[in-house]
Amino acid sequence: MEIDNHLVKEVKFLKSPNFNNRPAEENISLIVIHSISLPPKQYGGSYVEEFFLNNLNISDHESFKEIKDLKVSSHLYIKRDGEIIQFVPFNKRAWHAGDSVFKGVPNCNDFSIGIELEGADDDIFTEEQYNSLVSATKEIIKKYPLISKDNITGHSEIAPNRKTDPGNKFDWEKYLKLV
């Protein structure tokens, strides 16, 4: 895996419209791990991709009505089979963290890279996902030296009153040991 011009060379890039410029590109210093599935706890298909591209057909599932007006994205999305899709170049601000604080610094989208795992808070993640996540994390750390293992966190940690992902089944010990 290699990052060139803020894109992972070996993965599909689907340009999300849901991003903007960071206040300071040189301050990229955090990775935020998330989980997402659309509809909830249903895997496979392309609903997450469509959601990040603002192309989700709201009439396909009742739960989509709750998110119809949201404009969100992540830098990377890792599917159950380990496939990685990039939606926003790393030097741009993806809209993944929302109202958030890390180590006293607010607005985590300004300085973080968001990685979404296809999953749910109370489901385990696949070996393929961990393998892809570890590979991506190692490459991101190489390319963005302000990021270290101490600057990797879950969405639930930076937005504790709002979010619970990636959930209690995400194996932090395993992941960080492999990084």
Cα–Cα distance, 110 to 122 (Å, whole number): 29
DSSP of 74-94: -SEEE-TTS-EEE-S-TTEEE
Residue 167 structure tokens:
């959930």
Assign domain 3-178 one CATH number from 3.30.70.20, 3.40.50.720, 3.90.580.10, 3.40.80.10: 3.40.80.10
pLDDT in tens, 84-112: 999 999 999 999 999 999 999 999 999 99
Q: Which residue has the higher pLDDT, 16 or 24?
A: 16
Residue 109 structure tokens:
């989208």
Residue 24 confidence (pLDDT): 83
Q: Which percentage of the chain shows pLDDT scores above 90?
A: 96
Q: Is the pLDDT of residue 25 over 80?
A: no
Mean pLDDT, all residues of the chain: 96
Domain boundaries, the chain: 3-178
Q: Is 8 left (phi over 0), alpha (psi -120 to 50) or beta?
A: beta
Residue 46 CB contacts under 8 Å (≥ 6 apart), including other chains: none
CA distances (Å), 94 to each of 38, 42, 144, in order? 19, 24, 16
Residue 130 confidence (pLDDT): 98
How much is the pTM? 0.97
- Residues designated catalytic: 116
